[in-house]
Structure 1
Amino acid sequence: MTTPPPMVSGRDIGKFFRSADGRVVPALDGVSLTVHEGEFACVVGPSGCGKSTLLRILGGLIEPSAGSVARHPGQPPVPATAFVFQDFAVLPWLTVRANAAFGLRMAGVRRRDAERAADAWLRRMELAEFADGYPEQLSGGMRQRLALARAFTTGSPVLLMDEPLGSLDPQTRRLMQEQLLALWQEERKTVVLVTHSLDEALLLGDRVLVMSARPGRITEELTVPFPRPRDPGIQDGPEFGRLRARLWDRLRGELSVGAR
């Protein structure tokens, strides 16, 4: 089988911040990874290990202090990457339709064309009836569906997701996980997802990358063996439990290091 081409990769990425008292604080040290076309890669690790920093470096929001990043260039006006954040990052002064079209508008697409693409995704995300309303009228789960609609509307080949379901209640999160799984299996975008949930990583991912305590490094890569298309019911099986326990054992050791 031919390996799909790489869509985003980093080599020996380091990131250092300077504290208020002038100390150099390392966030990432020597991180290398490659995510291939159509792959769903999940990143887990202790709080503060640099997961979100790594995601922002991969997406070009911040520059690394060391190392390099290569991204699929995308074909204008499609952005190379699109982000989905935990806090939804929807704009309260824009309508639901305008929020969904925002990424394309920022890329220079005409309003009519951007809103036509947005309306198609709002229908798929069951938000069409709210297109002329505002985010404050939506529940948390609906606002997150709006954030996903905006990301998919851009047509970007790579989606970078930073705890996109982390602020939802457990029931809504479970439903959104299943919806995201189904949506990805239809679209086959390249995805890098940062999450604290091991269950979420194993349900959604093709590969799980475990990061160390700060400064963050990738200490283990687990290939998820469950076939595609994937049934959410795998979470109730013994193999899922075994893999969860393996990940937790690895992560628990990093949590212990970070707590010292």
Structure 2
Amino acid sequence: MANIEITNVAKTYPGNPPVRALDNVDLSIREGEFVALLGPSGCGKSTLLNILAGFEANTEGEVRFDGGPITKPAPERAVVFQEAALFPWLTVFHNVNFGRRLQGSTRMNYEPEVNAMLDMVGLTDFRHAYPSQLSGGMRQRVGIARALVMQPRALLMDEPFGALDAQTRLTMQELLLSIWQKHKTTVVFVTHDIDEAVLLADRICVMSARPAHIAREIDIKLARPRSIDDLTSPEFVAYKAEIMHEMRHAHAKAAAVTKEAAV
């Protein structure tokens, strides 16, 4: 069953001239599927994610979640940003439980869930620490825990590991894989990193240059559970080469169209 349905979606920002960020995007995402939106910076990946989150409205087409139209943000669609965006005056524990408190849950109800989530992301010993006392990777763990404790039906992630160093990024990718393997939450993951997309996703949607559409969908049939040890396997390398070829083709085609329009 698909719980995210994107049909003929376009997004145009007003201006002189107007900017068309998305054009005729069609995508169906099954419940529990991990889908990566892959493309270069500025191609419209984050715009599409913001529409799924309810932060922006599409100007054409239809976006539906669990059969109903997406018109505004909702807790069943949690978002993890590139920066954790934590409240600096709250401890790790209180940052994670912030959403549950807004929903009116009592401490007796949310505390066991928050503690379990902190244990899952390896932050039990830092529950009383403040964001300024944490590394970048630890702050992202708090952001993921804050999203997951809301028990969302879908997790929307906008390059959440993009600002991290290479080693921390690999650690966070493995953490996300282990969490997803346990919860099987629907994930839409924006990235421009091919290795990251192949490692994490069930399916990769390669996006064209702006105005973006889905240039190609590629099913990743690597066995699960996965780990960073898979990065050097022949199957992984073959997927990477295929995706690199597809991205070069899509961008060359977009460049040709732009050149023709300029003439």
Q: Do they fold alike, i.e. is TM over 0.5? A: yes
Corresponding residue for residue 99 of structure 1: 95
Q: Residues 211 and 23 from structure 1, CA distance in 2 versus in 1: closer, same or farther, beyond 3 angstroms?
A: same
RMSD: 1.8
Aligned equivalents of 2:172, 2:83: Cα separation in 1: 15
SS at match of 2:21: strand
Amino acid at match of 2:186: T
1:45 to 34, 39, 64: 39
| 1:1-260 equivalences in 2 (<5 Å) | 5-19=1-15, 22-72=16-66, 79-256=75-252, 257=254
* Equivalent position SS for 2:20: strand
Q: Distance in 1 between matches of 2:111 and 2:202?
A: 33
For 1:47, the aligned partner's letter is: S
**Cα deviations by residue, 1:3-62 (Å, 9 ceiling, x for unpaired):** xx112121111111123xx32110001111111111000010122111001001012111
Deviation at 1:178, TM superposition (A): 1.1
Q: Larger deviation: 103-112 or 150-159?
A: 103-112
Unaligned runs of 5+ in 1: none
Distance across 2 between alignment mates of 1:106 and 1:70 = 25
Structure 1 residue matching 2:172: 3-state secondary structure: helix
Measured against aligned partners, the alpha-carbon deviations of 1:112-139 in whole angstroms (never above 9, x if no partner) come to 4234322221111111122122111100
CA–CA distance in structure 2, aligned partners of residues 171 and 201 of structure 1:
16
Q: Is the 8 A contact 1:71 1:80 kept in 2?
A: no
State, as a whole percentage, how many aligned pairs show the same letter. Answer: 45
| Matching residue's letter, 2:24 | G
The residue type equivalent to 1:64 in the other structure is N
Count of residue pairs brought into register by the alignment: 251
Secondary structure of the 2:187 match is strand
CA contact (8 A) 2:81 2:159 kept: yes
Q: Which runs of 5+ in 2 are unaligned?
A: 69-73
Report Cα offsets for 1:71-94 as digits up to 9, x if no partner.
1389xxx82210111011212122
TM-score of the superposition, structure 1-length normalised? Answer: 0.91
Note if contact 1:79-1:154 (Cα within 8 Å) is conserved in structure 2.
Answer: yes
Give the letter aligned to residue 49 of structure 2: L
Structure 1, 78-87 or 192-201: larger mean CA deviation: 78-87
| Equivalent AA in structure 1 for residue 178 of structure 2 | A
Change (3 A) 1:15 1:137: same
Higher mean C-alpha displacement, 61-70 vs 207-216: 61-70
Cα gap change, 1:79/1:176 in structure 2, threshold over 3 Å: closer, same or farther?
same
Give how far 1:102 is off.
1.9
